[in-house]
Amino acid sequence: MQQTAYLNGQYLSIEEAVISTQDRGFLFGDGVYEVIPVFNKKLFEFNAHFTRLQNSLQAISVVNPLSKDEWQDILQNLIDQHPWDNQFLYLQVTRGVQMVRNHMPDECLVPTIYVYTNPLHSLDENTITNGIKVITLEDIRWLRCDIKAITLLPNVMLKLAAKQQGADDAILLSQDNKVLEGTASNVFMVKDNVIFTPPTSNNILPGITRLVVERIAQNNNIELKEIALNLADLEQADEIWLTSSTKNVLAVCQLNRKQVGTGNPGKLWQKINALFIETIKEIAL
């Protein structure tokens, strides 16, 4: 099927959407991105994603080239041009094209804006009902993981390392054994009916799914605490979950080859996952 992308003011077929080799995104990884889920053709948590985009751009000293309404129009336009009810939009803003390679950005560069959409398939039933296998790895990323930077080489290497060791994903630990996040997700754990997640910091991305889970817990009087966690806490956990815009809330059944809790997605996961799906359905009405 013909897929349409948005590139610098134009809607093009995805094959026609090409950028300059001198784009700083290509040469330096100098840019930021967002992944926004769409349910029943409606943007999920657009305001939160826009705010995070704004924060990422501000952190790298790029002025947002579009207003909030302009972004929303482009995103909705792309959604409407594709047949899938559920989608995930990828948007990327780089600092722009600079002909002479220099770490120092020229002034007055024009940011490159690229957006495209994909069908959002729910994970297979087996993965959802049985959970995934995760190992812990030392975080090898930088000290500004709160910026949603396009520079994802360490995340790719860590994901590959997890796979090479027979796991589905990795939970990243700081050098002093603090639990940070997944390679492309946030981490939650449950102990004695209380949900825990590490507080936001420069070492983790403030996930929008994480935010929604926190809101759901609060609205349903389920105790949730943001506190620093270490590997020993994870090893004692009754449940562990990963959250992201493309995975929703996913249970972890194995940590470092040892069963987590009963070895199956736990009671609080069942509850939060059901409430999460309800939330998605509400916005999709």
Q: Show which residues are catalytic.
A: 148
DSSP per residue, 153-192: HHHHHHHHHHHHTT-SEEEEE-TT-BEEEESSSEEEEEET
Token pair of 72, please? 């929303």
**From candidates 136, 186, 248, 254, binder to ligand PDD by CB under 6 A:** 186
Cα–Cα dist 84/2, whole Å: 13
Q: How far is the CB of 35 from ligand PDD (least distance, A)?
A: 4
Stretch that binds ligand PDD, among 15-23, 97-105, 109-117, 184-192 (CB under 6 A): 184-192
279 scored as a contact of ligand PDD (CB under 6 A)? no
Q: How far is the CB of 18 from ligand PDD (least distance, A)?
A: 22
Stretch that binds ligand PDD, among 126-134, 159-167, 189-197, 239-247 (CB under 6 A): 239-247
**From candidates 86, 87, 185, 273, binder to ligand PDD by CB under 6 A:** 185
Residues 186 and 204 sit within 8 Å (Cβ to Cβ) = yes
Gyration radius of the chain's alpha carbons: 19
- Given the complex with ligand PDD, which of 74 and 180 has the nearer CB atom? 180
Q: How far is the CB of 262 from ligand PDD (least distance, A)?
A: 26
Residues 253 and 239 sit within 8 Å (Cβ to Cβ) = no
Stretch that binds ligand PDD, among 73-81, 115-123, 238-246, 250-258 (CB under 6 A): 238-246
- Given the complex with ligand PDD, which of 50 and 97 has the nearer CB atom? 50
**From candidates 112, 136, 244, 248, binder to ligand PDD by CB under 6 A:** 244
Cα–Cα dist 144/180, whole Å: 13
**From candidates 56, 87, 112, 245, binder to ligand PDD by CB under 6 A:** 245
Write the binding mask 136 to 175 for ligand PDD: x where contact by CB under 6 A, - elsewhere.
Answer: ----------------------------------------
Helix orientation angle between 208-219 and 46-59, rounded to the nearest 10 degrees: 130
Cα–Cα dist 80/223, whole Å: 39
Q: Which amino acid is at 176?
A: D
Closest CA to 180 of 188, 172, 189: 172
Which phi and psi angles does 206 have, rounded to 5°? Answer: -75, 90
Give the list of residues 6+ apart from residue 160 with CB closer than 8 angstroms, or none.
none
- Given the complex with ligand PDD, which of 8 and 200 has the nearer CB atom? 200
Contacts of ligand PDD in 26-85 (CB under 6 A) = 35
Q: How far is the CB of 206 from ligand PDD (least distance, A)?
A: 8
Give the list of residues 6+ apart from residue 282 with CB closer than 8 angstroms, or none.
none
Helix orientation angle between 208-219 and 267-284, rounded to the nearest 10 degrees: 100
87 scored as a contact of ligand PDD (CB under 6 A)? no
- Given the complex with ligand PDD, which of 98 and 183 has the nearer CB atom? 183
209 scored as a contact of ligand PDD (CB under 6 A)? yes
* Residues that bind ligand PDD in the complex, under the rule CB under 6 A: 35, 181, 184-186, 205, 207-210, 243-246
